């Protein structure tokens, strides 16, 4: 019996226009009737997820910031704050990169520099609560993630990711999309966060499903039995998943969830 379903957002649950499927509320009602928890699992900020799913704020488990912050009914279940020394080292590396724009992700807010307007337009898709700062070293917050954006070339896997090779084995570096690379504490990812919540709630991997499309969803595939790669997923995610869902454009998450629920009726 399925007890919890996790889904990535962009390229997975959301369509090509960044919108929820029309049948989303109907499917969520089916899950409520079956006492199945639904959980957005995203690189997006917690406040951005809460804003998008305001009507479900007491129903969903929110796996935010690539698993570095998890909340249920506005209570923190799990988080992983980065050491100040690590953040300072990362920012030195960021300063050496051209046309790459950082977002320092804290529990209270995201922190950005206002100097580049096209970047802010891209950033606002994922961060709704943010603060402008001129000096990142003056930020007073628990930092859970550093996000880096290549909104000019849109080739983060090549323009950002290689610059952080030196941090391999020390920090978790994940390519989230063509635009974004996320950096977190080593060993922290969506999959680890799911495992923590499974322990807290007494739910096994056999009772969980997860949907994803990109490299930051890889660990999520191994944390559940019903792991689905979208038809539009990165080849490595397809290799890691046990099942495949139709593309996000075809509302594959909704179709697979309805199929899962019908099987356990």
- CATH C-level class of 84-185: alpha beta
Residue 4 CA neighbour count, 13 Å, CB half: 27
Could you tell me the residue ranges of all domains in the chain? 4-79+189-263, 84-185
pLDDT band for position 265 (50/70/90)? low
Q: What is the longest distance spanned by two Cα atoms in the chain?
A: 56
Mean pLDDT of the chain: 95
- CATH C-level class of 4-79+189-263: alpha beta
pLDDT of residue 264: 81
- Please answer whether residues 104 and 87 qualify as being in contact, where contact means their C-beta atoms are separated by less than 8 angstroms: yes
pLDDT of residue 114: 80
* Per-residue pLDDT reduced to its tens digit, 168-178: 899 999 888 89
Average pLDDT over residues 159-176: 92
The SS3 assignment for 78 reads: strand
Query: From CA 239, how far away is CA 34, in angstroms rounded?
Result: 30
Average pLDDT over residues 217-240: 97
N- to C-terminal Cα distance for the chain? 9
Print burial letters for 136-171: b (CB count within 10 Å at least 16), e (below 16): beeeeeebbbbbbbbbeeeebeebbbebbeebeeeb
Taking the CA atoms of residue 249, residue 253, residue 255 and residue 260 in that order, the dihedral angle to the nearest 10 degrees is 170
pLDDT of residue 115: 79
* Per-residue pLDDT reduced to its tens digit, 27-66: 999 999 999 999 999 999 999 999 999 999 999 999 999 9
pLDDT of residue 168: 87
* Per-residue pLDDT reduced to its tens digit, 89-128: 999 999 999 999 999 999 999 999 887 777 898 899 999 9
Helix ranges (DSSP H) in 101-217: 117-123, 156-159, 190-201
């Amino acid at each position: 019996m399925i007890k919890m379903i996790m889904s990535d957002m962009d390229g997975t649950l959301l369509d090509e226009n960044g919108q929820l499927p029309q049948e989303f509320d109907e499917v969520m009602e089916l899950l409520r009737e079956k006492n199945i928890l639904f959980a957005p699992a995203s690189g997006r900020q917690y406040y951005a997820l809460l804003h998008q799913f305001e009507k479900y704020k007491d129903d969903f488990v929110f796996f935010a910031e690539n698993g570095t912050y998890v909340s249920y009914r506005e209570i923190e279940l799990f988080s992983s704050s980065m050491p100040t020394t690590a953040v300072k080292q990362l920012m030195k590396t960021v300063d050496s990169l051209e046309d790459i724009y950082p977002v320092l992700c804290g529990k209270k807010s995201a922190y950005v520099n206002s100097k580049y307007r096209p970047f802010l337009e891209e950033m606002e898709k994922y961060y709704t609560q943010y603060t402008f700062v001129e000096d990142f070293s003056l930020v007073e917050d628990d930092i859970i993630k550093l996000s880096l954006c290549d909104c000019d070339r849109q080739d983060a896997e090549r323009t950002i990711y290689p610059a952080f090779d030196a941090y391999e084995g020390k920090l978790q570096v994940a390519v989230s999309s063509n635009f974004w690379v996320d950096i977190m504490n080593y060993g922290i990812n969506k999959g680890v966060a799911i495992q923590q919540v499974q322990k807290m709630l007494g739910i096994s991997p056999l009772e969980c499903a997860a949907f994803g499309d990109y490299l930051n969803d890889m660990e999520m595939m191994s944390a559940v039995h019903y792991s689905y790669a979208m038809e539009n997923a990165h080849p490595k995610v397809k290799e890691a998943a046990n099942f495949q869902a139709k593309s996000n454009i075809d509302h594959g998450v909704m179709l697979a969830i309805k199929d899962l629920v019908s099987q356990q009726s």
